[in-house]
C-alpha cells in the first residue's frame, strides 16, 4: 500500500480492512480508552465498522485518520492524523482536528510526536491549511505534552463528553 506520509521510523497510509485485527487490539484495551470518553470495543465487527466509517471519511472529506505503520516491522502500531470535524465543538464547526491513538505496547516510543510532526508538515505544506486544532482530556498529560511539543498552544478548557478537555490550536507559520 502506498504511503502518504513517511518519517524515519514510520509511514502513514490509509486505513485498510485488513487492519481490523490490529484496530481491535488497540480499541478493545481499556487503558487505551481511559481518556477517550467511549467504551472499548468488544467485537472484531465493531472494529470493522470503525474502519468502514474512517474509509468513508476519505471519500466525504478527502481526509481522515491514517494507519501508522512501523517501517522496521511493517506492524500497524496505531492511527493518527487529521479528521474533518463537522459537528460543533467548543464553538467551532467544520475544522481539521489532529489526533492519534496507539496500541499499548507501542506507547513510550515517541511515535505520537514523530507522526504528528509529519502530519502537521503535510497539512501546512501540501494541504495549505491555515490552522489545525486538537483536543485532549486535561488529565491526559502525555497527550497534552505531545501537542505542546509539536507547537500547539493551549487556548481554553471546555467540557466534552462530560469531562474537562483542553482546546489547542496551531497556526501555519
Per-residue pLDDT tens digits for 63-96: 999 999 999 999 999 999 999 999 999 999 999 9
Query: Using CB atoms within 10 A of its CB, is residue 53 exposed (0-12), middle (13-18) or buried (19+)?
Result: exposed
Statement: 5-171 belongs to CATH 3.40.630.30: yes
Distance CA(137)–CA(36), nearest Å, equals: 8
Q: Using one digit for the tens of pLDDT, what is the confidence trace for 133-165?
A: 999 999 999 999 999 999 999 999 999 888 899
What's the whole-model pTM score?
A: 0.94
Per-residue CA distances from 2 to 66, 69, 74 (Å): 12, 12, 13
Tally the residues of the chain.
173
Query: Using CB atoms within 10 A of its CB, is residue 156 exposed (0-12), middle (13-18) or buried (19+)?
Result: exposed
How would residue 2 be classed by pLDDT, with cut points 50, 70 and 90? confident
Checking if the pLDDT of 1 tops 80, the result is no
Q: Quick one: pLDDT at residue 36?
A: 81
Task: Tell me the three cell numbers of residue 122.
Answer: 503535510
Amino acid at each position: 500500500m502506498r504511503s502518504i506520509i513517511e518519517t524515519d521510523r514510520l509511514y502513514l497510509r490509509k486505513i485498510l480492512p485488513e487492519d481490523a485485527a490490529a484496530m481491535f487490539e488497540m480499541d478493545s484495551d481499556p487503558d487505551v480508552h481511559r481518556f477517550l470518553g467511549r467504551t472499548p470495543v468488544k467485537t472484531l465487527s465493531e472494529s470493522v465498522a470503525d474502519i468502514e466509517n474512517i474509509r468513508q471519511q476519505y471519500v466525504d472529506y478527502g481526509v481522515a485518520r491514517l494507519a501508522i505503520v512501523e517501517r522496521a516491522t511493517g506492524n500497524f502500531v496505531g492511527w493518527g492524523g487529521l479528521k474533518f470535524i463537522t459537528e460543533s465543538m467548543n464553538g467551532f464547526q467544520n475544522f481539521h482536528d489532529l489526533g492519534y491513538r496507539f496500541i499499548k505496547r507501542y506507547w513510550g516510543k515517541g511515535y505520537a510526536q514523530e507522526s504528528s510532526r509529519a502530519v502537521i508538515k503535510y497539512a501546512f505544506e501540501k494541504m495549505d491549511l491555515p490552522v489545525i486544532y486538537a483536543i485532549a482530556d486535561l488529565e491526559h498529560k502525555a497527550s497534552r505534552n505531545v501537542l505542546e511539543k509539536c507547537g500547539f498552544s493551549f487556548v481554553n478548557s471546555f467540557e466534552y463528553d462530560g469531562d474537562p478537555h483542553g482546546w489547542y490550536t496551531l497556526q501555519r507559520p
